[in-house]
Amino acid sequence: MRFFLILLLLVLPLWAERCTAGEDEDLAEINRRLENPLTKLWSLTFQENLAIQEGDVVDGTTYANTLFFQPALPLPVGDDLVFFARPVFPLVTSPVLDPTSSDGVDRHETGFGDIQMLSLLGPSKSQGLVWGGGATFKFPTASKDVLGQEKWQIGPAAMLFHLGNPWTIGFLAQQWWSVAGDHDRANVSQTEFQYVARRQIPGAMSIGMGPNVTIDWEADSDNQVTFPIGLGITKTVRMGRFPVKMRFEPQYSIIRPDDLGTEWNFRLQFAPVIPSPFK
């Protein structure tokens, strides 16, 4: 992850010499357009998730932490379509469980997790009904066994959003199945469903939520579903010559696995918008 931070510091000044993303656009409009996964805007999102976990296998609570780096560099396809391919690079801190320990946790391990790749194709619209379809992938890149699933995974992805003013409402769904990998690790069938409901407010801001619902189809019924709700605030500002979207969103899981699940998740996002060479 340190490599990507250094790369960011090197790339931004070079881009700034050529052009400025959204320099003449209203920040409120940029804030609204960034809610669309198929926006033409290029951005570099850093997303921090601090999860407070509890369950039957631990005494009290423990924690997990994931820092995602998500560059979004959409490409125009003809006059009407956008191709979106977003890799997700995770830096993970995860508890290592030990039933013989007094609190059920032996230690925490930190390292790189499994890289994800989401690809979507859909019409290029900045308002109204926006849809997209494609594929999603996970690669067994975790630096330690406990930080990944050690399986090659693939599946479909789809999104449907209504981009309005003041409301943005929609969903992004992904499904992964394992197709290869370590035979000693469990097979994977997992769904992730992000639902979004945000209202634009004055000051290039919005309030609302965009939690990720996860379903592990290979787990027993008491440990399949994590369903969070949340309420957060987003603001887009200009830092130097670049628009930057910032978001803070606490989330609470009304449904979570009995053995060990996330009770609270505190999400922080920082997303500089960078110039796209495609006009």
Position 25 scores a pLDDT of 54
Res 165: pLDDT: 87
pTM of the predicted model as reported, rounded to 2 decimal places: 0.87
Residue 2 has pLDDT above 70, yes or no: no
* pLDDT of res. 9: 45
Tokens matching residue 94: 């995860």
Q: How many domains does the chain have?
A: 1
Question: Euclidean distance between the first and final Cα of the chain, in Å?
Answer: 30
- Which pLDDT belongs to residue 126? 80
Provide the percentage of residues in the chain whose pLDDT is more than 90: 77
CATH code of 29's domain? 2.40.160.40
**pLDDT, tens digit, for every residue of 11-36?**
444 444 443 444 435 898 888 888 88
AA letter at 160: L
User: Does 114 fall in a domain?
Assistant: yes
Domain of residue 39 covers 2-274
Asked if residue 266 has pLDDT above 60, the reply is yes
Q: Are 33 and 39 in contact (CB under 8 A)?
A: yes
Q: Quick check: is 213 in a domain?
A: yes
Dihedral sign, Cα of residue 156, residue 46, residue 112, residue 92:
negative
Residue 263 has a pLDDT of 98
- pLDDT tens-digit profile of 153-191? 999 999 999 999 899 999 999 999 999 999 999 999 999
Q: Tokens 């830096």 label which residue?
A: 91
**CB-based contact 146:109 (threshold 8 Å):** yes
Of how many residues is the chain composed? 279
Q: Is the pLDDT of residue 217 over 50?
A: yes
Residue 279 is assigned to a structural domain of this protein: no
